[in-house]
Amino acid sequence: MQPDDKVLIELYTTMLTIRRFEERLVREVSAGNIPGFVHSYIGQEAIAAGVCRHLRRRDRIVSHHRGHGHCIAKGADLKRMMAEIYGKKTGYCKGKGGSMHIADFSVGMLGADGIVGAGLPISTGAAFAAQLEGKGDIAAVFFGDGACNEGEFHEALNLAGIWKLPLLFVCENNQYGVNTPAAYAMAAGEISRIPKAHNIPARVIFGNDVEEVYRAAGAAVAGIRKGEGPFFLECRTYRWHKHFLSQQLEDLRPAGELEEWKRKCPVAAMEKKLRNRGVLSPAKLRAIDEKIMRQVDAAHDFALSSPYPQPQDALHDVYSS
C-alpha cells in the first residue's frame, strides 16, 4: 500500500504538527512553565503518524507515558491538549490528568497510561469490544521496549492470541527504558520473537521512515479488519530527549548515539523526499510549517488564557454519573 501524494502530505503534516507541539513543550518545560512530568515524543513521530493514518474514528487506541503524538495523530484537539498539560479547566481532563494522562474518548483515544505496559490489557478490552460489535473496527496499542518485560505485556499477547482479537500491537522500540538498554533487560533478545511465541505474526520495521510505517501498518490493519487476528509491529526508533524532560534526570545513553539518530530524523527525511520528488515546493513546505506554528501558538495562547479549575473541583469526577 504505497501512499499517494495526498497521503504523503498528510503524513508529513501530522509529523510536523507533533514535532512543533513537542518543541514548544520542551521550551516551556525548560523555562519552568509546566508542572509535572512531560515525556517528549520527538524522534518517534513517524510511528504515530504512519499507524493512525489507517485508523478510523471508531477504532480505539491506548497509549502510555509518551502519548502526545498518538493523541494528535488520532485527531485530538491541540488546544485542549495544551490546556491539559498546563493543568487548566479547559483541558481534556479538566486539569486532573496532565501530560501523562490525556484522553479523548470522542476520537477513540482511550487515554495515556502512566504505568509501563498497563495499557496493554486495556487495549485487549477495547479490541474485544470491537470484536463483539462486529463492524470491522479494531484497536491499537502503543508502548515501548520497556513494556515488553512487564507481565501484563505477555498476558495481553496471550489473550489477544487465544481470542484472535482485532488488535494492532505497536512497539516503539526506542532501545531504552529510561536509561536501561533493552539489550540488557530482555532475555529474548529480539522483541518480535515474543509475539511469535504467542502465535501472533510480527514484523520489524524502521520506525523513522513514515512511508515504511505506513505500508507495514496498512497491511497489518487490513488483515486485522478481515478477521485475521492480532498483529505485532516492532518499530525501531530513538527518542531525542531524556525519558522525561527534567534537569534532575540524567541521560546515560552513550555519547554520539543521539547525533547519529538525529541524522535519521523522521521529519527531515520526509521533508527532503517531498522536496526531491517535487510533491511540495519549498514555499509550500514553508506554508505548512507556518500554519502549524500558528496552530501551536493558538493552542498555547488558549492554554495560558484559560482559567485553572477551582480548588474544590478536586472533589468532583471521582465517579461518573
Partner 1 sequence: MRKITYDQAANEAIQEEFRKNPRCVHLSTDLAADLTEEFGTERVRVTPIAENSFVGTAIGLAGSGFRAVVNLRMATFGFVALDQIMNHAAKLTYMFGGQAKLPVLIRMTVGAGFSGGAQHSISPYSMFMNVPGLKILLPTTPYDVKGLLKTALVDPNPVISFEPFLLGRSEGEVPEEEYFLPFGKAAVRKRGSDVTVVALGRMAHVALEAAVELEGKISTEVIDPRTLVPLDRQAILRSVRKTGRLVVVDEACRTCSAASEIVALASSDRTTFARLKAAPARVCGLDVPIPFSPPLEKYVLPDRAKIVKAIRAVMRRPSA
Binding residues vs partner 1 (CB under 8 A): 60, 62, 91-97, 101, 103-105, 110-111, 113, 115, 118, 120-130, 132, 139, 151-152, 155-156, 158-159, 162-163, 316-321
SS3 at position 210 = helix
Minimum distance from residue 278 beta carbon to partner 1 (Å): 43
Minimum distance from residue 55 beta carbon to partner 1 (Å): 14
What's the start-to-end Cα distance of the chain, in Å?
44
CB atoms within 10 A of CB 37: 16
Which residue has cell 493523541? Answer: 71
Minimum distance from residue 161 beta carbon to partner 1 (Å): 10
Q: Which of 44, 230, 245 is nearest to 120 (CA)?
A: 230
| CB of 163 or CB of 206, closer to partner 1 | 163
Minimum distance from residue 299 beta carbon to partner 1 (Å): 18
| CB of 84 or CB of 209, closer to partner 1 | 84
Spatial contact of 119 and 113, defined as CB atoms under 8 Å apart? yes
| CB of 46 or CB of 107, closer to partner 1 | 107
What is d(CA 166, CA 61) in angstroms, rounded to the nearest whole number?
12
For residue 234, which phi and psi values (nearest 5 degrees)?
-100, 120
Q: Which of 84, 96, 146 is nearest to 120 (CA)?
A: 146
| CB of 301 or CB of 313, closer to partner 1 | 313
| CB of 118 or CB of 279, closer to partner 1 | 118
For residue 109, which phi and psi values (nearest 5 degrees)?
-100, 100
| CB of 126 or CB of 280, closer to partner 1 | 126
In the chain, where do the E strands start and end?
60-64, 109-113, 139-144, 167-173, 176-177, 180-181, 202-206, 231-236
Strand order in the sheet with 167-173: 109-113, 60-64, 139-144, 167-173, 231-236, 202-206
Minimum distance from residue 170 beta carbon to partner 1 (Å): 16
Q: Are strands 180-181 and 109-113 parallel, antiparallel or unpaired?
A: unpaired
Ramachandran quadrant class, 37 (left: phi over 0; alpha: psi -120 to 50; beta: rest)? beta
| CB of 130 or CB of 170, closer to partner 1 | 130
For residue 316, which phi and psi values (nearest 5 degrees)?
-100, 160
Minimum distance from residue 22 beta carbon to partner 1 (Å): 21
| CB of 247 or CB of 320, closer to partner 1 | 320
Minimum distance from residue 103 beta carbon to partner 1 (Å): 4
Minimum distance from residue 321 beta carbon to partner 1 (Å): 7
